[in-house]
Amino acid sequence: MFKLSFLSLLLVSSFASAEEARRANAHVHGLNNLSMVISQNQVAISYEMPIVQLFDEHDEHDERDEHDEHDEHDEHDEHDELTISDETLATFNNYLQLFALPEGARCNLTSFESGLHSVSTEGDHKDVELSYEFACSNPGQLKSVTINAFAHFRELGTINFEAVINNKALTKSLKSDVNKVIF
């Protein structure tokens, strides 16, 4: 477990500059971030999304031109107080809502953590952060990841995918028509 935690720390430092750029444009509705580290038979995945993505009433945000009706900052202020329960976050223990690893790799979830973090100095915008760790008994089959989140969240337009896979970096920007990353 120590080795995987070290690898997770490596991932964080490897993508520090990308994370800073992302934070500068933080809380972009319709944008999620998936970071992955694979080393030998261990996989660590971090998944981030704006909290508003979890609320059904927000689904209509892009379907009408709200910018004509009121100031965009006022619209975002409506989301400043959003929060979700620990029980709601715990439902993401079922990672298949977001992604799937190849069945042939026989990966078992060994750790799951969830939480909220603030992403903006203007208001109290929050992102959901989900962390997963897996042990895989057939790591030779870890050749892809399938993204299921597009089917689960209607507003999701883009997932920024960043990975360190056996010491090689990989970055991709995924749209809903591409739900698989092959490495």
Q: DSSP of 66-135, one letter per residue?
A: HHHHS-HHHHHHTTTT----HHHHHGGGSGGGTEE--GGG-EEEEEEEEEEEE--SSS--EEEEEEEEEE
Q: pTM of the entire structure?
A: 0.75
Total structural domains in the chain?
1
Model confidence at 121, in pLDDT bands (50, 70, 90)? Answer: low
pLDDT single digits (tens) 89-103: 999 999 999 999 999
Identity of the amino acid at 53 = Q
Residue 77 lies in domain:
2-182
Look up residue 116 and give its two tokens. Answer: 């909220």
Cα gap 158→31, rounded to integer Å = 5
Q: What angle, rounded to 10 degrees, do the helices at 16-24 and 2-14 form?
A: 60
Q: What is the pLDDT of residue 53?
A: 87
